Chains A and B, each alone.
Chain A
Amino acid sequence: MKKINLIIILFAFISLSASAELSINITKGIDNPTKIAIAPLSFYGNQLPEDIGRIIEEDLKRSGLFDPIPRKNMLSFPGTLKDVYFRDWKILGAEYLVIGSLILSGDFYEITYSLLEVHSSRLVFTKIAKGSKDQIRDLSHHISDQVYEAITGIEGAFSTKVAYVTSLKSNNKILFKLMVSDVDGARERAVLESNHPIMSPSWSPDAKELVYVSFETGRPAVFRQNLANGNRKQLSDFRGLNGAPSWSPDGKKLALVLSKDGNPEIYTFDLRKEKFIRHTNHFAIDTEPNWAPDSKSLVFTSDRGGSPQIYRLILKNGEVQRLTFRGSYNARPRLASNGRTLVMIHRSAHQFNIATQDLVNGDLRILSNTSLDESPTVSPNSAMLLYATKINNKGVLAAVSLDAGVKFLLPSKQGDVREPAWSPK
């Protein structure tokens, strides 16, 4: 009897020690672009003016995080959930599937679309989007945003815009244009055309206006323009430099550079009160201010230390802190919306490259492999950056992802392209 007790005790001991569920730690992964299939959207009616599925594929591919399954390999084109056979997509190696169907109701398109997990055969979401007939590209980019966000956890930036300056020589004259296009390069439109240089466009936080520098009066001056109606207003008219306007994230002020007091200094301009306040007081060059996301400080370029470096100015008390210490030239700072990634032009070995510095851990990374790089601008989701560079003596725009995984040149346009500014939404 008691021996049975012993047996039971012994086995209880063995089984108890193992009866706590086995727990396994997974500590590494392989981060390949996610394979996603975008089934062509079904539409019962006349041909659509744009291939929505194609626009979505290109958006997702450009982000560097997705690898769209080629349409020619697809075995079926389901438009609704009941038409989906997951095996058709497992065979292609797809991890996710996007399907959708479009109906025309009056003057509007209504798209019902779904994102599905192929391996688990689960539905992630079904959503509906509506737009007018000329908003098909907007609808496509909207779907890309939703898919991107569900899978990556980051807000998409496919519906944003870019402003940039072009210059084209014709008949011994140079024509300058300030342009705005979709972030994929489509629907390019002229905001301003001029025989005099245009520089430094900066967006309002609601993405409805731009401020920029124009030389139309014979000297550089800052202008404000409403995109929808084209109304313009000259904001500054001082002698010397009037430049590098930057619109605060809270929409209330501009930061800019003026040299009216003898040398370039950082000022802020209250848009409502129309008043200038000076913030730096140093005989060196202080220029290129850019706002921190909380609108409480500015990063700017200064050569007060002997060569151009990046500093932070706390607006409340005027305190200035140096941020860059590596390299002999760091300029044109931009703070990403995450508040911790500082983007800039960095010179090393006679090359000017775009670099990022993590303000928390100090990591410096050179992102571009072109040289003569300038004017970096960051996407509102801090995932990508655009910048200007020269290839074969022509000014072009290039893109690079902030994790340096993806690089590409934007499609070439007529003339030189430069000074990109990414819209905040």
Chain B
Amino acid sequence: MAISLSLILHLVIIYFLFNKWDEGIKIQKVLPPKYLQAKLVNLDEKIKKKIQPKPKPKPKPKPKPKPKPKPKPKKNNEKKIKHKIIDEQETKILQASKQLELENKKIVSSYSAYIIERIEANWNRPPSSRREMEAKLLIRLVPTGQVISVKLLKTSGNIAFDRSAEQAVYKVGSFDKLQQLDIQTFEKNFRELQLVFKPNDLRL
């Protein structure tokens, strides 16, 4: 009884400690890589005058058309052109970022496939395993690919099954190919990841 209480208390403390710790990392993630900023600098050069942000801050353009009816068409045209250029630039940014996302996804999925292949080659399931079982692990890696921690997030309900999943990761020991990955993609995706062990190749 006392043992389980102290365990629970310890786990609660640890949870809060690690939680706050994580927030710090998340804030770091939002910092942009430098090369994208470079493109935007180009944008500034193209457009000479300062561009007013269009659809969102609506109140501003409204008061202006009132005092001068004649200069209106000119200003509208200018605005339209400016808006068009802005739209094009935005579309380009969006396309570029979507492209990047796609490439990023490809890289992530290819390295994920590598991780899957290594683990599956080392996963030795106990005879008490059943197809419906599912265990979730949280593993932490370093850029060399080495596994530095394995944590059971969700038990399958069968200790031997959970243990076999953990053992599979420990047996791999190090996902060496991750060394070829650029540091940003590594940090974003592979520093810490979840493994869901759910066998669908079992007879029972």
Are A24 and B124 in contact (CB-based, < 8 A)?
no
Docked complex: A58-99 residues within 8 A CB-CB of B: 65, 95
Determine whether B171 belongs to the interface, using a CB cutoff of 8 Å to chain A: yes
Chain A neighbourhood of B183, CB < 8 A: none
The reply on B8 being an interface residue by CB < 8 A is: no
Interface string of A208-233 (1 = CB under 8 A from B): 00000000000000000000000000
Q: A3 to B126, Cβ gap below 8 A?
A: no
Residues of B within 8 A of A154 (CB): 126-128, 160
- For the complex formed, measure the closest distance between the CB of B114 and the CB atoms of chain A, giving whole angstroms: 10
In the bound complex, CA of A8 to CA of B27 (Å): 12
Q: Which residues of B contact A383 (CB under 8 A)?
A: 127
Complex Cα gap A150–B126 (Å):
10
**A3 B40 Cβ-Cβ under 8 A:** yes
Tell me the residues in window 110-135 of chain B with beta carbons closer than 8 Å to chain A beta carbons.
112, 115-116, 119-129
A193 at the interface (CB under 8 A from B): no
Cβ–Cβ contact B158 & A153, under 8 A: yes
Q: B residues within 8 A CB of A14?
A: 97, 100-101
- Whether the pair A28, B160 counts as a contact (CB closer than 8 A) is no
CB neighbours (8 Å) of B192 from chain A are 21
| Interface contact A24-B57, CB-CB below 8 Å | no
B164-177 Cβ-contact flags toward A at 8 Å (1 or 0): 11111011010000
Q: Is the CB of A152 within 8 A of B127?
A: yes
Q: Which residues of A contact B120 (CB under 8 A)?
A: 26-30
A1-44 near B? 1/0 per residue, CB < 8 Å? 01101111011111101110111111111111010000000000
Q: Do A152 and B97 touch (CB < 8 A)?
A: no
B126 contacts A18, C-beta separation under 8 Å: no
- State the Cβ distance, A91 to closest chain B Cβ, in Å: 13
Q: Does B193 contact A (CB under 8 A)?
A: yes
Do B32 and A23 touch across chains, with their CB atoms under 8 A apart?
A: no
Q: B123 near A28 (CB under 8 angstroms)?
A: yes
Q: Does A129 contact B (CB under 8 A)?
A: no
Q: Determine if B193 and A22 form an interchain contact, defined as CB atoms under 8 angstroms apart.
A: yes
- Nearest CB in chain A to that of B165: its residue: A26
The yes or no answer to A120 lying at the interface (CB within 8 A) is: yes
Residue of B128, B129, B194 near A22 (CB, 8 A) is B194
Do A11 and B30 have beta carbons less than 8 Å apart? yes
Q: Which residues of B contact A31 (CB under 8 A)?
A: 124-125
Q: Give the docked Cα–Cα distance between A150 and B166 (Å).
A: 14
- Provide the residues of chain A in CB contact with B190, threshold 8 Å: 22
**CB-defined contacts of A6 to chain B, threshold 8 Å:** 53, 90
Q: Within B146-178, which residues are at the interface with A (CB < 8 Å)? A: 150, 158-161, 163-168, 170-171, 173
Q: How many interface residues does chain B have, given as a range?
A: 35 or more
When chains A and B are docked, how far (Å) is the Cα of A23 from the Cα of B93?
28
* Interchain nearest-CB distance for A87 vs B (Å): 12
Q: How far is the CA of A415 from the CA of B116 in the complex (A)?
A: 54
Partner of A29, one of B93, B138, B189, B201: B201
Where chain A touches its partner, the secondary structure class is: mixed
User: Which residues of B lie under 8 Å from residue A23 when comparing CB positions?
Assistant: 193-196
Q: Which residues of chain A have C-beta atoms less than 8 A from B164's C-beta? A: 29
**Structural contact, A11 and B193, CB atoms closer than 8 A:** no
A152 to B125 CA separation, bound complex (whole angstroms)? 8
Closest to A20 in B: B194
Judging by beta carbons under 8 Å apart, are B32 and A11 in contact?
A: yes
Closest to A5 in B: B53
Contact check, A29 vs B123: say whether CB atoms are below 8 A apart.
yes
> Cβ of A21: which chain B residues have Cβ within 8 Å of it?
138, 192-194
B83 within 8 A of A: no
Contact A24/B163 with A29-B123, A29-B199 known, Cβ cut-off 8 Å: no
Given known contacts A11-B30, A14-B101, A19-B29, is B123 in contact with A26 (CB within 8 Å)?
yes
Chain B residues positioned under 8 Å from A22 (CB to CB):
108, 112, 189-190, 193-194
Query: Are B116 and A24 neighbours in the complex by a CB distance under 8 Å?
Result: yes
Distance (whole angstroms) from the CB of A110 to the closest CB of chain B: 25
Pair A119/B171 contact, Cβ less than 8 Å: yes
Interface string of A135-155 (1 = CB under 8 A from B): 000000000000000111110
In the complex, what residue of chain A is closest to B101 when comparing beta carbons? Answer: A14
Within the complex, the shortest CB–CB distance from B125 to chain A, in Å, comes to 5
Residue A403 lies at the interface, judged by CB distance under 8 Å to chain B = yes
Residues from chain A with a CB closer than 8 A to the CB of B163 are 117, 124, 151
Give Cα A410–Cα B53 distance, bound, in whole angstroms: 86
| Neighbouring B residues of A7 by C-beta, 8 Å | 32, 37, 40
27 contacts between A and B (CB under 8 A): A7-B32, A7-B40, A11-B36, A13-B97, A14-B101, A17-B101, A21-B192, A23-B193, A24-B116, A25-B198, A26-B116, A26-B120, A26-B123, A26-B196, A27-B198, A27-B199, A30-B124, A31-B124, A31-B125, A119-B167, A120-B166, A152-B126, A152-B127, A153-B126, A153-B128, A153-B160, A154-B128
Starting from the known contacts A19-B188, A34-B124, 7 additional A-B residue pairs (CB-CB under 8 Å) come to A21-B192, A25-B196, A120-B150, A153-B126, A153-B159, A154-B128, A154-B160
Measured CB to CB, the residues of A under 8 A from B are 2-3, 5-8, 10-15, 17-19, 21-32, 34, 65, 95, 117, 119-120, 124, 150-154, 383, 403
